[in-house]
Amino acid sequence: MDPRGATERLKAWLVPSSCGGWFLATLLLVVVLCTWAYSARDDLFKTYLGLQPEAQSVGKNAYVAGERLGLKKTEAGARVTLTSVYAEGQYVIVGYEVEDLQDDRRVAGHPAELQPSLGFGYGEPTPREEKYLKKHGLGTAVVALTDQSGTKFRMVDNSGTISEGPENMVEGPLRNTVTFKPEEELEPGEGHRFRLQVPLEEYALVPPEEKRLPPEPFPGKPFVFDFEIPVRPVPVIEIGQKETVSGVTLTLDRVIDSPVVKQAVFCYEAPDDEHRWHLEGGKGTTRLVGFSSNPSMKSVPPAECQELLLRGPLEGRSSVEVKRLVGAPDCRSVKAESAKACNAKIGAKTIRGPWRFEFDAPTT
């Protein structure tokens, strides 16, 4: 895989012009880095979805999580196969393959391959993405998911196979995995109807030492799949275990044992109100999955609780560790010109652990 390809496709969107823009830039940087780490992370997702035989080694629940659909559509010398979909309240993960049925596809005289057109808006490109797509005559369609109720979904994570160059092209279908997050949590139940749209683009494969060329439009229409699958309830392990270190008590309230992403929810009383506190995980936690660079920064109900991503699978006696609490000066109410002085006055603060917890996860 050539990481420059992911960078080239996203660089037009990485120049922030506001605080919100910097947040988006951080998110996109995470996606780029996760794309560089394609092999490990994509294998992880395919394992969870049951897209490869090794899925059986992580337990029955993970293996059966994905609904293996095998739906195929052919258009303008290309075939897209919807291989597997898993849906739960907060995430829908889709696995699909793109196969070029033409042997001589070329862009600007170079061998070319087909790649999905991606965007981070709710079913449509963001303004900057739209500008980039229109600049290269690619239209405005991006990989998008909708459902029967009109819920809006946005892409929060993706990975895919990209050839290294014209002398090292990937043989066979190119595998892709995309994760969508609904604007509002989906209700568990059977027979939930979804529609997936997969537009393609043609990418020139140039030697590594040459400048990458912009993509060209695929001559066919977007591939559209209508399908019906269940929305699974998210398994939750209620725990309520308390541990006190350095005068701070953390409670491991519960573990979210989802096949998509496993999370430990910790609750605690903030050591002071001058800092904005977050947790740093230790053993048993991970930052591998690209949903957030620091997942504990996002609070979950109740407000005094934060979450950390866990390594999976979880079976039998399991453990998790919080390495430290880190407090950044809370200068949100201070004007920009005074923020530096505020930060210097309060200063950062660290409370070191570790806090260690053990719990029993269901076995299969």
Of 215, 218, 169, 161, the residue nearest 45 (C-alpha)? 161
Query: What is the per-residue pLDDT for 26?
Result: 38
Is it the case that residue 167 has pLDDT exceeding 80?
yes
User: What's the predicted TM-score (pTM) here?
Assistant: 0.69
- Cα 141 to Cα 124: distance, rounded to the nearest angstrom: 7
Which amino acid is it at 237?
I
Is it the case that residue 106 has pLDDT exceeding 80?
yes
- Cα 256 to Cα 44: distance, rounded to the nearest angstrom: 18
Query: What is the per-residue pLDDT for 74?
Result: 97
Q: What is the mean pLDDT of the chain?
A: 79
Is it the case that residue 25 has pLDDT exceeding 50?
no
Rank 9-13, 62-66, 153-157, 291-295 by mean pLDDT and report only the highest.
153-157
**Tens digit of each residue's pLDDT (9 = 90 or more) over 61-81:** 433 467 889 999 999 999 999
What secondary structure does DSSP assign to 71-91, as a single string? EEEEETTEEEEEEEEEEBSS-
DSSP-derived letter for residue 3 is H
Query: What is the per-residue pLDDT for 159?
Result: 84
What average pLDDT does range 104-130 have in this prediction?
A: 91
Query: What is the per-residue pLDDT for 337?
Result: 67
**Tens digit of each residue's pLDDT (9 = 90 or more) over 218-271:** 999 999 999 999 999 988 999 999 999 999 999 999 999 888 778 999 999 989
Is it the case that residue 29 has pLDDT exceeding 60?
no
Query: What is the per-residue pLDDT for 356?
Result: 97
Of 30, 91, 89, the residue nearest 294 (C-alpha)? 30
SS3 at position 216: strand
User: Percentage of the chain surpassing pLDDT 90?
Assistant: 43
**Tens digit of each residue's pLDDT (9 = 90 or more) over 337-364:** 677 888 888 888 999 999 999 999 987 6
What average pLDDT does range 54-58 have in this prediction?
A: 31
Query: What is the per-residue pLDDT for 299?
Result: 45
Residue 92 vs residues 96, 146, 292, 341: alpha-carbon distances, Å = 13, 11, 16, 44
Which residue segments constitute the domains of the chain, with CATH numbers given? 3-231 (no CATH), 236-361 (2.60.40)
Is it the case that residue 91 has pLDDT exceeding 70?
yes
